[in-house]
A and B are shown apart, each in its own frame.
Chain A
Amino acid sequence: MGSNLPTDSPINSPNNSASVPEALLRVQGLTKRYVRGGLWRKRLPVAAVSCADFYIPRGQTFALVGESGSGKSTVARCVTRLERPDSGSILIGGTDIAQLMSRDLAPFRADVQMVFQDAVTSMNPRFSALDVIEEPLLINCKAHDTPGASERRDLVRALMIEVGLSAAWMNRSILHFSGGQRQRLALARALALRPQLLVLDEALSGLDLSTQAQIANLLLDLQAAHSLTYLLISHDLALVTLLADVIGVMSEGETVEVGPTRQIISEANHSTTKKLVAAAKAAGSNLAQIAGASA
């Protein structure tokens, strides 16, 4: 797969330049297979990710794009250790978390948080906004000093205001929030543990354009305020160009192309990248402007 990568891509030059910032996340040779079949059928392994390689410098946004089924979400689930990879390494601040046992993952859980595509189903339907946001604080009580009830309420209040929600809605059931508001809640929940890396798995998909733009701006504001690093999973190249510093393209479980956003848009090498760029241009996005500016 290395042959598809441009020679000046970050993946090929992670260590040789003083200008390259310190990598917060480094994924190397990641593979993940699922077994299909069951009680009555032959169990067959299906490779979801056959070789993923990329790294994200601290404070930057790395977008992993690709067609449906290319393995993007599996990479996200491996990075957050919702899935255990079969092989390869996931280095966070120099520690490989790929093969750590569940009990040893606790210190890293707070550093890496995930925001899911469907905010509606990613929260317990019986919870209030307060319950949703304070849950990570309660779960991580052993790894961190658990704040008391009133301190937690203050934290939740501050987080809600930070993501643009009224703190007066704290005790409302999440069922009373709109899709966009729930995505803000999901962001507040993810921020509760003050993570370094946020994995945004299609977090802006399924929202209307205006809400998408609002959440995208919010993400940029939060990144600036907290020096957050984003791993953005998306199939929407047009949206990705607004947020990402570097884009990685996945096809059939492999990262086939990695490079700075403008370079990927204007000088796509791999056929999958070309297809994605063409589709985004056909959709009348701002890619043409970006490509023009970079030319």
Chain B
Amino acid sequence: MSFIVRRLARSALLLFGVSILCFLFTEMAPGSFFDEMRLNPQISPETIANLRTHYGLDQPLVVRYERWLKSALRGDLGISIAYNSPVTPLLWSRAKNTLLLTTTALLLTWIISVPLGVWAASRRGGLLDRLITLASAFLISVPELVLAVALLAVAVRWGILRTGGMISADFESLSMWAKLQDVISHLVLPVCILVLAETAVIVRHVRASVLETLQSPYVQAARGFGISRTRLLFRHVLPVAANPAISLLGFSLAGLLSGSLMVEVVCGWPGLGPLILEATLSRDLYLVIGGIMLSALFMVMGNLVADMLLSALDPRIRGNEDKAEAEQGLHAA
């Protein structure tokens, strides 16, 4: 329990640090939301000055950060200048769609990657292993944007997948079942892009991890007892090889979120991606910061879940935590 509390405290501290860096970098970035207004002769400098005062942008950085922090603690994450509304509801309405996309992609990625990685490792040097190694090397070397555009082009040319948006124009008139089918059919293309890109990475990690475990002396010892392949895999190899894979889960979640932002823009999926891109281009300060904070929150939560899983599954990690706690207790005494 204290392990979770400690990790939560660390996560909060990390998010606090990220928020400070966000403010510093956005301050250092050139231009502001009002730059285009200044070029418009119909908008007077007084109006722009009043707007800056209204959004508190005339205040020093420390004051703005303090106000934002108070607003974040209330759950607002500041006010979007472009939408003139609190950032959190804006982000949440889009985050739901992003979560649908990333969760589906994450589940499929792991369902495909783990068996493929284990299969390739247990038949090292075989045809399947070589095919998987080659395909994953190819997919890793192709930039995700190129992959997304290529798949989009194929989908549009052959008309095999729904492209653009999350729902069809006649969505409201559809039955419940038809609505579900409609969303799924729109989901296929962006999910495919994300799964292909992420699977290539995770398959290689799982393969390497299983290979390393298969070559460890305790697996050799078990083979010396005449252990069956199934028992070897499930009792000895997978539980130990799972550690690096679980650690990867946290990064995978964060990676999927950042990857999904680009895929959403390419596929027109109404998630956080287009919103954050639009906010960045228009320099909608608090919306950009809110988007980054949400991304950081995803990463922190992903790593927290991975750490908790590792702690629950591996006695060595629990042992280290206990030891660390005991040492802290000794120092305190």
Contacts and interface: CB of A to CB of B under 8 A. Distances in A.
A118 B221 CA distance: 11
Nearest to B320: A175
A82 B217 contact: no
A121 interface: yes
Given A82-B220, A121-B218, A126-B239, A175 B226 contact: no
Interface of B: 130, 133-134, 216-218, 220-228, 231, 236, 239-240, 314-316, 319
Dominant secondary structure of chain B at its interface with chain A: helix
Given A116-B217, A121-B217, A122-B221, A106 B316 contact: no
A143 B227 CA distance: 12
A105 B226 contact: yes
Dominant secondary structure of chain A at its interface with chain B: loop
Given A39-B133, A173-B319, A175-B319, A125 B224 contact: no
Nearest to A113: B224
A126 B242 CA distance: 12
A123 B222 CA distance: 9
Contact of A116 (B220, B231, B319): B220
Contacts of A116: 217, 220-221
Chain A interface residue bracket vs B: 20 to 34
B49 to A, nearest CB: 65
B240 A124 contact: yes
Nearest to B219: A124
10 tightest A-B CB contacts, nearest first: A109-B226, A122-B217, A136-B225, A139-B225, A121-B217, A139-B227, A116-B217, A124-B218, A122-B221, A114-B224
A114 B225 CA distance: 9
Interface string A250-285: 000000000000000000000000000000000000
Nearest to B137: A39
Interface in A171-193: 173, 175, 186, 189, 193
Contacts of B133: 39
Given A126-B315, A175-B319, A193 B225 contact: yes
B315 A135 contact: no
Given A126-B315, A173-B315, A121 B224 contact: no
Given A126-B240, A173-B315, A140 B220 contact: no
Nearest to B318: A173
A104 to B, nearest CB: 11
Interface of A: 39, 80, 82, 102, 105-106, 109, 113-114, 116-118, 121-126, 135-136, 139-140, 143, 173, 175, 186, 189, 193
Contacts of A121: 216-218
Contacts of B221: 114, 116, 122-123, 186, 189
Given A143-B226, A175-B319, A125 B240 contact: yes
A106 B227 CA distance: 9
Contact of A125 (B130, B222, B227, B316): B316
A227 B10 CA distance: 59
B316 A175 contact: yes
Given A123-B221, A126-B315, A139-B225, 18 more contacts: A82-B220, A113-B224, A114-B221, A116-B217, A117-B217, A121-B218, A122-B221, A123-B218, A124-B218, A124-B222, A126-B314, A126-B316, A135-B222, A139-B222, A139-B226, A143-B226, A175-B316, A189-B221
